[in-house]
Amino acid sequence: MNESRLKQLLQFLEDDPNDAFTLYAIATEYRNADKEKALAYYEKLLTEHETYVGTYYHAAKLYEELGQNDVAEQTYKKGMQISRQEGNMHAFSELQQAYSKLMGLDYEDD
């Protein structure tokens, strides 16, 4: 975690508490150092910025890491729904692949 970058991002958040990108960047900074703080920021995004598609993949992956596979599954599903609504098929594809892997559907033909 880059402390100076985090400090600057927190200042940006103070200046504009509703900026989705800043919330996402803060969650990303915390991702490896403090998973609980990262999750809190991801959850804020999922609640307050439902159409910020980039959140779903990373939040669901973090839920998986924390052993919350049921929540991860629901997060992937919601992300696929939102990404389709937003016309972001690249994000949809990434979410679908991660969901399939979580559900054990990522097999290949022999």
Q: What is the pLDDT of residues 91-103, one digit of tens each?
A: 999 999 999 999 9
Give the confidence band of 105 by pLDDT, cuts at 50, 70, 90: confident
Domain topology for 50-110: 1.25.40
Check pLDDT > 90 for residue 108.
Answer: no
Long-range CB contacts (< 8 A, 24+ apart) of 17-22?
18/48, 20/45, 20/48, 20/49, 20/52
What are the structural domain ranges in the chain? 1-49, 50-110
What pLDDT score does 1 carry? 73
What pLDDT score does 65 carry? 96
pLDDT tens-digit readout, 7-64: 999 999 999 999 999 999 999 999 989 999 999 999 999 999 999 999 999 999 999 9
Q: Are 60 and 42 in contact (CB under 8 A)?
A: no
